[in-house]
Structure 1
């Protein structure tokens, strides 16, 4: 059940609107539609949806302009882009401007619903109680996680509560941090520890992919491995380190995560989001550890996070 989350779908193509609407309504979501950014922005202000799914290329106000307006006006609603070949540069700009994620139109049937569900889970986890004023200056915490994906939203909710006390991120930055963490941690669990090939998601509506996850969760050595998650945060920013116990991977084998032309490719999608949302990303030589830094001020030379990241 989707708990009747309200989703606004924005697209000037009637065919595309029908396709996305059917996918979402079949899964229990309440869907409203708009045919351009101007109409969408008015609907967001009139009745705030839980999520916006928008095309990029539209008349009057395109998807990039819509994301910029939502971010500028600090409207607390995450935006997922639907991207087509040829829109890679605009999509990359929209992600930098505050969009939460994207789904290639060529993979709507397999990726849209999981992305929507995950974004809504992370949005809920990020809505923490801010009534208690904090004098916290710096914190360091670490977790040793099993490969249970259901742990991830709660962990990110805990991280968000810490960052709310420490760092001055806006709502869009909080959402992007949550999305980057989700991609990195789930990748460490599924592709790192369980060694499951993402290509299985293309087969039989992804069922072999899910079956393999269930099998390896209870199979040695895969299910015995852990994901080690470390956070170091201060008033200037935060550093995350995520390490799995799998064999690692070669970064050269995935599309360049900093190149917008790879935006429409499913492979490497998580790394592209991570590199877009974080200020600094590093991998160890083995390929089983990623370090991500997100700053909230421009000068971090004196911060503990900056000092640790240079070690």
Structure 2
């Protein structure tokens, strides 16, 4: 980063704020301060920051709520949380929700500088990577027998490739995309190929900057997806037919079939590009 990196410090304890701000300013960072999460979010909305260092326990808006709000504003901002003594569980929860790292009170200069240094290196990498993101594309292909044992491996392989390519996934996507793949494969094996071991299921996955497209095709006779009853109606609540497709349509942003009805294509859009998806 050619310009001075900007850091926002949010903590309700004045002496902690002063310590962090002074320590970071000495290192050449441009630093702003906030006394709680709500004030920090207001400052962030006015001007961008490369990193936000926030206490987890603050009045008006706590650090975890701030973390989630910041990533809605800018998914690339690095958030470092500060935990009190003996509250590592809070830090783990924050990291699971997208925090880059954590600091433990009392914060030492060595710990602070190391975490910030690593964060800025990571931030620089993300910004450089963003320049080539529009040209990113990857395709995966599988052809498997009609056997349910292959389902978990394909779903996890697709998720792993998304993570390796640093595709923007929110916590919910990490569950819903594999679940949609599971349901589509199960339908192809059991209903399309009718568990015939001689029939194959073909899976393709294309990852681009704008979306992830996953297709599952069986060798069965196909079906009319419009003929599947709505499983949410009272008379269908105890039925199993149609539940898989119902879940897929709710897990993914777009679902379509080929004319024969033996191939389903599911899309999940990049929310950084299409926020309303």
Quick check: which has more Rg, 1 or 2? 2
- Structure scoring higher RCO (CA < 8 A, sep ≥ 6) equals 1
TM-score by length of 1: 0.44
